[in-house]
Structure 1
Amino acid sequence: MSDIEWLQPTFPVNLVTVVLIIIVLVSVLQGATRGATGSAQRFMQFAAEGAATVVSVIVAWKLAAVLSPVVEEWLKSRQIVYPDEELGLFRQMYYTFVTGIRDFPLLRVGTVFVLAYTACKAILLRLWLFIAYGAGLMGKSPAGGGGRSWMSSGVGGAIGTLIGCGRALLVIACLFVYTALFPESPFTRYVQASTLYAEGAARVVEPAGGELLQQRLPVFAKAVEQEFSQILQRKYEVIDARIPSDIAEAAKQITAGKETDEAKARALYQWVGTRVQYDYDKVEQYEQKRIWKEQTPEDTFATKLGVCIDYSRLYAVMARAVGLDVKVVTGLGSDGRGGYGPHAWNEVFLADNNEWVPLDATWVSSGSNWFNPQGFDKTHIRDA
């Protein structure tokens, strides 16, 4: 049974339709309670907020497009490097975020957009309030409801209906975005079964840009997913920026005489995979007692014990010590029985071939080749 199938026998009426009706009815009730004057003021405020939102989105989008290259160039000119020392949590977050803005275009555009949108909307709303109060449009509405006439309540209810319809359309627009991103999900089918949603989407959202959203949103979401995965890996570059001298010396000895990037990368892959032993006690401690023993690449190098993330972090530090560009990748790895579990591995850049290739030093003990084999992505699924 899917996540939403249980709703249908329990609630014979579509809940999306019910929620949209409730939104409108509550707004009508609020309008009738406020009366004509209070509802008119609330409607002007609602319209002003809507207009400010639209204008702020347009302005912020334009500013993000203009300022993003400027921010990128400025951050590159700062020549930010990770300190060769152990970093605390907040410094790790700082370097991950700042270098992420520098290197990842969607994160940079998104950050500039959010800042510009927030500033623009705050300015516009304050300007509106200044004008509204100056013109007497936002004075106090009559207190209490005992002396309010039926006509005033009726007008207020009518205005509340307009506000309620506007709120319902906002909800429909949000649901439309969800259905565009996840067209095959059970919840999408449930949403689309709502007659009110279907009417609002067909008559308002789609004519206002729905077709563009349906075409572009999935592509944009995929790009965001890929970039977010890269940002997740950046943290290991930050926390493992310091290369201990004993690890650097070992890496140089292991790769001595190796002329190509691939030869160096393979030598380190073989060394880490055969020298480090899998720490089953660490896994048992976590699975049974939820105790996680965090360890640095230096700990792994010294003890020659670790789990997949420890293999991967040690490999990355050793690879960087000999000038290789390398990433720690997290995700899911095949358990060999048709299932998957949390796993970590590496990707290394081979300048000779101008390509990134995957490798899994943890699985060297299996006896198979896990340095850029065919079908690697069938047994390894990146985090997203």
Structure 2
Amino acid sequence: MNSAWLLQANSVNLVSAALVCIVLASVLQGAFRGASGSAQRFMLFAAEGIATVISVLAAWKLANALSPALQDWLVAKEIRVPNEEMGFFRQMWYTFVTGVRDFPLLRIGTVFVIVYMLCKTALVRIWMFVALSIGLLGSASGGGRKSWMSSGVGGAIGSLIGCGRALLLIACLFVYTALYPESAFTKYVQASDLYMQGATQVIEPVGGQLLVSRLPVFAKAVGQEFDQILQRKYEVIDARIPNDVAEAAKQITASKEGDEAKARALYQWVGSRVQYDWDKVELYEQKREWKEQTPEQTFATRQGVCIDYSRLYAVMARSIGLDVKVVTGLGYDGQGGYGPHAWNEVYLSDRKEWVPLDSTWLSSGGNWFDPPGFDKTHIRQA
């Protein structure tokens, strides 16, 4: 059943209802705690909010300042993925460390999270120590009967906390609507009068217009870098070069001179020796079961799909000293559309440039080693 239809079918806007419920729940909590307990809770809420803002600003400044130094340090460490069998956690470790070294957003994000957590923890602990020292925080029990005045004051304080919590939800929804302005859920959110009042009167004046203009660009950059990190995972997993694969690559290129001649020989061999595994495709399309396989398995079975062709080519090329990448994106399907695809890029030192090649498509005819207009049939994502 369509979720957008369900949202529209409700006569009461669920976003408005959620905001009202947040405030009412906070009022009831405040009334139950009484004036003293609610005041303490409000101070904690306010202190945490202030600590969060200060920590975010400090982390952002320090992340930008420390990122180059961290990159230089990691480069100096000369971290190399070992040519050996590795377990899952070692693979993830090398993927993460080399990713932090090579990808700027991941590096800045990592430093940001670490600095933010340290800064906020320190600020909250300092505030708690000071508050306890001067008696701002005492023992406030939620049990026992409260006077009407105490409950009323507690409820009033709770309403302030509720408004703060509601604004946090509005801010999260504002980020979503900025990222997905055309979605059905965005239109539903913007149909809430309470949301629109908070968004236009509080969030936008504080920095909403900046978020609207920058968030989509930032999200696209994050998505592109995430694709690169996924490719780095394959590089780490495939760092181990099996002896039989390396020996085959050596024999195939033994009579070739120069990077281009060697790269073309491997392209011809992989494209003509490996058969496309239609059963693997059918298993995924019908049962959503993905049969992961290593380049060594592709070499042994002589079967695979585009990612398997590309990973095998990369391992064979690296074994003879070529610098090569596995690239994912979209490939032209011959029927006016595009579908998920993978291919390679290899660096040719004799030409001093990276060139694309698609060994998977060799069997379909034509030249797919750096042909003119390669980018018209292959849309790169990573």
Fold shared, TM-score > 0.5 on shorter chain? yes
Q: Relative to 1, partners in 2 of residues 1:222 and 1:261: Cα closer, same or farther, differing over 3 Å?
A: farther
1:56–1:121: 8 Å Cα contact kept in structure 2?
A: yes
1:27–1:161: 8 Å Cα contact kept in structure 2?
A: yes
Instruction: Give 4+ residue runs of structure 1 displaced > 6 Å after superposition.
Output: 288-291
Partner of 1:301: 299
Q: Relative to 1, partners in 2 of residues 1:297 and 1:21: Cα closer, same or farther, differing over 3 Å?
A: same
Task: Find the residue that maps to 1:6 and give its secondary structure.
Answer: helix
AA aligned opposite 1:5: W
Task: Find the residue that maps to 1:86 and give its secondary structure.
Answer: coil
Task: Find the residue that maps to 1:5 and give its secondary structure.
Answer: helix
Task: Find the residue that maps to 2:342 and give its secondary structure.
Answer: strand
Partner of 1:134: 133
1:207 maps to 2:242:
no
* TM-score, scaled relative to structure 2: 0.91
CA distance, structure 2, for counterparts of residue 298 and residue 207 of structure 1? 58
Deviation at 1:255, TM superposition (A): 3.8
Once the two structures are superposed, what CA deviation does each residue of 1:94-126 show, in whole Å capped at 9, x if it has no partner?
110000001111101100110110111111111
The one of 239, 242, 250 aligned to 1:244: 242
Q: Relative to 1, partners in 2 of residues 1:16 and 1:285: Cα closer, same or farther, differing over 3 Å?
A: closer
Stretch of structure 1 that moved more, 235-244 or 32-41: 235-244
CA distance, structure 2, for counterparts of residue 206 and residue 355 of structure 1? 46
Structure 1: gaps (5+ residues): none
AA aligned opposite 1:198: M
Deviation at 1:285, TM superposition (A): 5.5
2:271–2:361: 8 Å Cα contact kept in structure 1?
A: yes
Partner of 1:365: 363
Deviation at 1:370, TM superposition (A): 3.1
Q: Relative to 1, partners in 2 of residues 1:150 and 1:75: Cα closer, same or farther, differing over 3 Å?
A: same
Task: Find the residue that maps to 2:262 and give its secondary structure.
Answer: helix
Stretch of structure 1 that moved more, 202-211 or 40-49: 202-211
CA distance, structure 2, for counterparts of residue 288 and residue 172 of structure 1? 41
Q: Relative to 1, partners in 2 of residues 1:36 and 1:232: Cα closer, same or farther, differing over 3 Å?
A: same
2:358–2:368: 8 Å Cα contact kept in structure 1?
A: yes
2:24–2:162: 8 Å Cα contact kept in structure 1?
A: yes
Task: Find the residue that maps to 2:116 and give its secondary structure.
Answer: helix
Task: Find the residue that maps to 2:138 and give its secondary structure.
Answer: coil
Question: Following superposition of structure 1 onto structure 2, how do residues 209-358 of structure 1 map, counting pairs within 5 Å?
Answer: 209-256=207-254, 258=256, 261-283=259-281, 293-331=291-329, 333=331, 335-337=333-335, 342-351=340-349, 355-358=353-356
1:3–1:186: 8 Å Cα contact kept in structure 2?
A: no
Q: Relative to 1, partners in 2 of residues 1:179 and 1:271: Cα closer, same or farther, differing over 3 Å?
A: same
Q: Relative to 1, partners in 2 of residues 1:358 and 1:5: Cα closer, same or farther, differing over 3 Å?
A: farther
Partner of 2:56: 57
2:331–2:379: 8 Å Cα contact kept in structure 1?
A: yes
AA aligned opposite 1:302: A
Task: Find the residue that maps to 1:241 and give its secondary structure.
Answer: coil
Question: Following superposition of structure 1 onto structure 2, how do residues 83-122 of structure 1 map, counting pairs within 5 Å?
Answer: 83-122=82-121
CA distance, structure 2, for counterparts of residue 289 and residue 181 of structure 1? 32
Deviation at 1:145, TM superposition (A): 4.6
Partner of 2:70: 71
Paired residue total: 382
Once the two structures are superposed, what CA deviation does each residue of 1:43-74 show, in whole Å capped at 9, x if it has no partner?
00000000110111111112211211111111
2:37–2:142: 8 Å Cα contact kept in structure 1?
A: no
1:177 maps to 2:175:
yes
Q: Relative to 1, partners in 2 of residues 1:378 and 1:43: Cα closer, same or farther, differing over 3 Å?
A: farther
AA aligned opposite 1:180: A
Partner of 2:7: 7
CA distance, structure 2, for counterparts of residue 255 and residue 193 of structure 1? 65
Partner of 2:159: 161
Partner of 1:36: 35
Stretch of structure 1 that moved more, 356-365 or 72-81: 356-365
Once the two structures are superposed, what CA deviation does each residue of 1:316-345 show, in whole Å capped at 9, x if it has no partner?
012212333222234555554566655432
Partner of 2:20: 21
Deviation at 1:37, TM superposition (A): 0.8
Deviation at 1:13, TM superposition (A): 2.0
CA distance, structure 2, for counterparts of residue 369 and residue 76 of structure 1? 38
Structure 2: gaps (5+ residues): none
CA distance, structure 2, for counterparts of residue 381 and residue 158 of structure 1? 57
Q: Relative to 1, partners in 2 of residues 1:187 and 1:281: Cα closer, same or farther, differing over 3 Å?
A: closer
RMSD: 2.5
2:7–2:188: 8 Å Cα contact kept in structure 1?
A: no
CA distance, structure 1, for counterparts of residue 108 and residue 102 of structure 2? 11
Task: Find the residue that maps to 1:243 and give its secondary structure.
Answer: coil
Task: Find the residue that maps to 2:4 and give its secondary structure.
Answer: coil
* TM-score, scaled relative to structure 1: 0.90
AA aligned opposite 1:4: A
Deviation at 1:346, TM superposition (A): 2.1
Deviation at 1:354, TM superposition (A): 5.2
AA aligned opposite 1:41: Q
Q: Relative to 1, partners in 2 of residues 1:195 and 1:288: Cα closer, same or farther, differing over 3 Å?
A: closer
Deviation at 1:262, TM superposition (A): 4.1
